[in-house]
Structure 1
């Protein structure tokens, strides 16, 4: 049984799951969980959905309460960010000057929103933390217009949530021709553009923002076609950058995240590991370095790292099947494997094709590569299983058609 001290820096889902998994894997030593925020560890996906809408409470987001931490023997160090790591001296330096000694270190500091190129005038928001969500919710409750810049997962979710909150003047802007352009092929993405338009959201796809100005107590968003969009609130969701600056200069390899081997061990120190959005690890099947900004990846990587710390003679590679989801209006959109990017695809309609369908993607050799499913959970389960072994797109299509239940339309009322 390991009795070493493990310090985990980052108190979101990756850090919390690592701490819990260490205990369940037999770690008997000290576990210290360091978080930059004063809040108890909380889950982030609801921030752009239920919590923003006011239908989920702060308590419902909590990942690890004080009683649970005490019961598991996890020491919480919250409200003081880590500023550096002394790899040779095996210590983490905190902003208040303290040093936390470790035998094993887990970097789980996640990512932060890419900053607005147009400054931060009153009424302009990014969304990553609990405090971000509280501030944005207060502004949305004052009414619109709302302009959302960026039609990725966060931007699209905020537009959908604001519309559900009753805002009648919501505009979604992105230089791409359709939303979710990184994970969807253009023809499929246009279906998601129609989803927003059908719910009353104005969409300005193919338009780039040139500036955001404070004017007469509000904001004006300028576009490259010369148009100007008035706004009470602007949300900027244009990607994320890993929180890796605090380990730069430590001797670890840092390049768009903490670079790791297939076992999530940092290059430069075998007793340092990284999980979640900040980790850039060698993916065994992809045969290249990968960084994934998804909740499921953080959870699965945390389990692997905990196992590898407690069982150093039985190392297990982190070899996930990519999975992400987003809830927009009454659509649950689930993405598995590789999608978009010019891959060939076929669309399988559900019992109600307007509210349930699956898109299957194939690589150039015709092998099934990934899928996007709307309101069709059984199709997602079948696709995740199939991605563990080679199967042709044609076979996958037949299997889902024959063995998977058709989706049912999601109910939105009692």
Structure 2
């Protein structure tokens, strides 16, 4: 006999933890179950490549709430547990321990899965991806003066880990499969070069036009073989992107595309199931398009929308995408969604390390980024989609709030 719940949340990451808290804050009184394969209570994943790796903090310090919060708010937790199947007709789900739960509403918050490399030697020790607290602790434990660290991929995770490793005295090489600078697929050539220069000035090496063909070593990795040569490695971190974890949704018959398709209130094609966070390919009413965004800000906001939907509220997906990063002495925030081919307008002097960037297309601001310049978040967010000349954007005599 299935145990009955008003709402079952599948996925105990930041999105899952936030949605149960938001439900209780909204006065929702039915039984709630929070099911997650991670043995830990929900925590802030951005801290993994920042506080945990740079400062050596305990991942438990990044918990969304203490574990006693859940019992105190009558949220029944199934940590270290996976859902193996969802029966949408019976509105039940099966756990990997053989148990069954029934739901009035289910919320999918299953996150994403890091991509790996299927090459010889991939099973060797000290080859990691970064997804959970265990990954972060394992990677951090290998840092040390003179250690050889190879990062495969030049995205946000790869560069953040590279910065953390370099700050602990490691010799770091970032392996890129093209000749383009890191992050250029998101930020464009000029800003990609800026981030590459930042890393080079801090001692990080780059190997470009290099496809990884094998890992070498006995029990643990000792090197990376690429089409551009060999790289010594005591530690390898693979950061080549992630895919939305939608297998459960697909097997349940939910509509999927670039994720689980949901409307502006996080409803899937099944009226009793919602989806949030990394997996949600959601209708953004502000931008008039579907977006799937992998970032904590989006996970938290969509969780609040889902809680509103279940509680009878009217919140909708109506904000611009946002993310941030910290690398060496650079901190930045990015809002909007530009194209790497958009015109780039710089306000300030890049060489000073403090400036604002606008992405500009057909006279309209598509995205903005503040680098070591703070307290402009709301003003920059308000400019997305607004027609402003490039000259005016670059003119530091015009206050940002008056653009």
Confirm whether residue 163 of structure 1 aligns to residue 166 of structure 2.
yes
Task: Trace 1:159-198 onto structure 2 (pairs within 5 A).
Answer: 159-167=162-170, 169-176=171-178, 177-198=180-201
Partner of 1:302: 303
Aligned counterpart in structure 2 of residue 210 of structure 1, from 213, 235, 239: 213
Could you tell me how far apart the structure 1 residues matched to 2:336 and 2:268 are? Answer: 25
Partner of 1:402: 398
Runs of 5+ unmatched residues, structure 1: 406-414
Deviations 1:199-240 (CA, angstroms, capped at 9, x unpaired): 001112343323222269542212223x11111111100000
Distance 1:339 1:205, change over 3 A: farther
Deviation at 1:279, TM superposition (A): 1.1
Deviates more, 1:151-160 or 1:315-324: 315-324
Distance 1:261 1:213, change over 3 A: same
Confirm whether residue 129 of structure 1 aligns to residue 161 of structure 2.
no
Could you tell me how far apart the structure 2 residues matched to 1:254 and 1:156 are? Answer: 31
* SS of aligned partner of 1:102: strand
* SS of aligned partner of 1:159: helix
Would you say the 8 A contact 1:336–1:370 is kept in 2? yes
Deviation at 1:63, TM superposition (A): 1.2
Task: Trace 1:40-51 onto structure 2 (pairs within 5 A).
Answer: 40-51=41-52
Distance 1:49 1:179, change over 3 A: same
Deviation at 1:285, TM superposition (A): 4.0
Could you tell me how far apart the structure 2 residues matched to 1:396 and 1:383 are? Answer: 14
* TM score, norm. by length of structure 2: 0.92
Aligned counterpart in structure 1 of residue 388 of structure 2, from 388, 392, 399: 392
Deviation at 1:249, TM superposition (A): 2.2
Deviation at 1:31, TM superposition (A): 1.4
Partner of 2:291: 290
Aligned counterpart in structure 2 of residue 219 of structure 1, from 197, 218, 222: 222
Task: Trace 1:241-260 onto structure 2 (pairs within 5 A).
Answer: 241-260=243-262
Deviation at 1:253, TM superposition (A): 1.4
Task: Trace 1:14-413 onto structure 2 (pairs within 5 A).
Answer: 14-118=15-119, 119-141=122-144, 143-167=146-170, 169-176=171-178, 177-214=180-217, 218-225=221-228, 227-267=229-269, 269-311=270-312, 314-349=313-348, 353-363=351-361, 365-387=362-384, 390-394=386-390, 397=393, 401-404=397-400
Could you tell me how far apart the structure 1 residues matched to 2:83 and 2:218 are? Answer: 39
Could you tell me how far apart the structure 2 residues matched to 1:19 and 1:335 are? Answer: 28
* SS of aligned partner of 2:186: coil
* SS of aligned partner of 2:187: coil
Could you tell me how far apart the structure 1 residues matched to 2:43 and 2:355 are? Answer: 32
Deviations 1:263-292 (CA, angstroms, capped at 9, x unpaired): 21112x112101100111222344433211
Could you tell me how far apart the structure 1 residues matched to 2:144 and 2:43 are? Answer: 23
* SS of aligned partner of 2:181: coil
Would you say the 8 A contact 2:265–2:317 is kept in 1? yes
How many residues matched?
395
Partner of 1:410: none
Would you say the 8 A contact 2:150–2:175 is kept in 1? yes
Would you say the 8 A contact 1:152–1:181 is kept in 2? no
Could you tell me how far apart the structure 1 residues matched to 2:352 and 2:174 are? Answer: 21
* TM score, norm. by length of structure 1: 0.89
CA RMSD of aligned residues (A): 2.2
Would you say the 8 A contact 2:348–2:396 is kept in 1? no
